[in-house]
A and B are shown apart, each in its own frame.
Chain A
Amino acid sequence: MSGALLSAEGLDKTYGRTPALAGVRFSIRAGEVVAVMGPSGSGKSTLLHCLAGIVRPDAGTVRYDGRELTALSDSARSALRRQDFGFVFQFGQLVPELSCLENVALPLRLNGERRKAAEAKARGWLERLEVEDVAGHRPGEVSGGQGQRVAVARALVTAPRVVFADEPTGALDSLNGERVMTLLTDAARETSAAVVLVTHEARVAAYSDREVVVRDGRIRDLAGVA
């Protein structure tokens, strides 16, 4: 598809005998928020992991910005992930030994930025996500909602071109979930980042520009439906 920043064609992935993806096609443009929906076990996370180059598909190709992700070496792929991609997962994503501020600064530090500059940027994102008051706390000392905002800040701090979010509001109540979605999608639209948003919640998916539905490892194609 023309104009796609990230696209996949013919993705297959089988775990043992469990087919997780079968012939999946997907594409997303810069600045677009696409919700990936579908029942539990349908292959949503597997799709996200393949798109992000975390899992190598058994067959098919993933193209990002003119490059074929599936053909890159492991080290080239992880460099790409560090520099161009941001991730928000449902749990266990913050480093427990680091403060929230250090957690948010971490991706910048890994990309070689100096501590001071990295922490200044990190603080800016914590403010934007309305959690600057927990900057000095460890992840174990903040609420689930605060932790999730910190995780969103960390995903956005490198100004990624693609944000991968897997059930980013899974552990949150409605109000916090909505706030996180507003902050995430506003920030992404502002920086023209693409967002791949895995969610089983329609009210979260309603923050997207369009949705795809995965069932039994296949994308149900509703093209043509107004």
Chain B
Amino acid sequence: MSIGHTLLGLLETGPRHGYDLKRAFDERFGHDRPLHYGQVYSTMSRLLKNGLVEVEGVEPGGGPERKRYAITEAGVTDVADWLAQPEKPEPYLQSTLYTKVVLALLTHRSAADILDTQRTEHLRLMRELTRRKQDGDLADQLICDHALFHLDADLRWLELTAARLGRLAEEIGA
């Protein structure tokens, strides 16, 4: 999962201090693995260097966690591009997709579009695997079927999530 894009997306909802950003990330997406402060600082300095965020102010006491960051125009475009780009279909995508869906809701973009774009991408690969399976021998068939069942599970998750977007938006306060 792209931590840079996720932090950037969180910043799009409003400027935040470094420590606040880490807390928001951990709360929403950290689950069992919270960010280290070090990750936050290195990510923020990279985003700063690339002009995707700017420093709005620094609280007394210094330290990077005291800097107040704001997203730039270029940063907003970067988030939009990332959200619009489907993920390469592969198993265990859920955490990235979940992050994208939540960020889309928080930034008032269409989460349904993200899910549908991803579903198109998944189906495209499933079609390719189905074709390969039909042309192949039994070994090909078994290998393709394994991938197909995993992609199918992802797709069911996409479908179920699409049906629950309203409730999710309420629960995350978007």
Q: Is A1 an interface residue (CB 8 A)?
A: no
Instruction: Tell me how many residue pairs across A and B have CB atoms closer than 8 Å.
Output: 42
Question: Which of A203, A220, A225, A226 is the one whose CB lies under 8 Å from B148?
Answer: A203
Question: Which of A202, A215, A225 is the one whose CB lies under 8 Å from B126?
Answer: A202
Distance in angstroms between the alpha carbons of A225 and B114 in the assembled complex: 11
Query: Quick check: B127 and A206 within 8 Å, CB to CB?
Result: yes
Question: Which of B116, B122, B126, B134 is the one whose CB lies under 8 Å from A213?
Answer: B116
Query: Quick check: B126 and A222 within 8 Å, CB to CB?
Result: no
Question: Which of A39, A203, A207, A211 is the one whose CB lies under 8 Å from B152?
Answer: A203
Query: Quick check: A225 and B127 within 8 Å, CB to CB?
Result: no
Contacts of B148 in A (CB 8 A): 203, 206
Query: Quick check: B155 and A202 within 8 Å, CB to CB?
Result: yes
Q: Is B120 an interface residue (CB 8 A)?
A: yes
Q: Is B21 an interface residue (CB 8 A)?
A: no
Query: Quick check: B159 and A39 within 8 Å, CB to CB?
Result: yes
Closest to A209 in B: B127
Distance in angstroms between the alpha carbons of A209 and B124 in the assembled complex: 9
Contacts of B161 in A (CB 8 A): none
Q: Is B151 an interface residue (CB 8 A)?
A: yes
Q: Is B143 an interface residue (CB 8 A)?
A: no
Contacts of B123 in A (CB 8 A): 202, 205-206, 211
Q: Is A78 an interface residue (CB 8 A)?
A: no
Contacts of A99 in B (CB 8 A): none
Interface centre among B116, B123, B151 (most CB of A within 10 A): B123
Distance in angstroms between the alpha carbons of A205 and B129 in the assembled complex: 12
Contacts of B162 in A (CB 8 A): 215
Closest to B124 in A: A226
Closest to A182 in B: B134
Q: Is A208 an interface residue (CB 8 A)?
A: yes
B162 to nearest A CB, angstroms?
A: 8
Binary interface encoding of chain A residues 54-69 relative to chain B, with 1 for a CB under 8 A from any of its CBs, else 0: 0000000000000000
Question: Which of B120, B129, B152 is the one whose CB lies under 8 Å from A222?
Answer: B120
Distance in angstroms between the alpha carbons of A220 and B152 in the assembled complex: 20
Query: Quick check: A202 and B130 within 8 Å, CB to CB?
Result: no
Distance in angstroms between the alpha carbons of A213 and B159 in the assembled complex: 11
Contacts of B163 in A (CB 8 A): 39
Distance in angstroms between the alpha carbons of A69 and B159 in the assembled complex: 33
Contacts of B159 in A (CB 8 A): 39
B59 to nearest A CB, angstroms?
A: 44
Contacts of B130 in A (CB 8 A): 203, 206-207
Question: Which of A202, A209, A225 is the one whose CB lies under 8 Å from B117?
Answer: A225
Distance in angstroms between the alpha carbons of A225 and B112 in the assembled complex: 14
Distance in angstroms between the alpha carbons of A157 and B165 in the assembled complex: 45
Question: Which of A206, A207, A222, A226 is the one whose CB lies under 8 Å from B116?
Answer: A222
Distance in angstroms between the alpha carbons of A182 and B141 in the assembled complex: 13
Contacts from B to A (Cβ < 8 Å)? 112, 116-117, 119-120, 122-123, 126-127, 129-130, 134, 148-149, 151-152, 155-156, 159, 162-163
Contacts from A to B (Cβ < 8 Å)? 39, 182, 201-203, 205-209, 211, 213, 215, 220, 222, 225-226
25 A-B pairs, CB-CB below 8 angstroms? Answer: A39-B163, A201-B152, A202-B122, A202-B123, A202-B126, A202-B155, A202-B156, A203-B148, A203-B152, A205-B123, A206-B123, A206-B126, A206-B127, A206-B129, A206-B130, A207-B130, A208-B127, A211-B120, A211-B123, A213-B116, A213-B119, A220-B112, A222-B117, A222-B120, A225-B116
| Sample of 9 more A-B contacts, CB < 8 Å, known A202-B152, A222-B116 | A39-B163, A202-B126, A202-B155, A206-B123, A206-B126, A206-B130, A207-B130, A222-B117, A225-B117
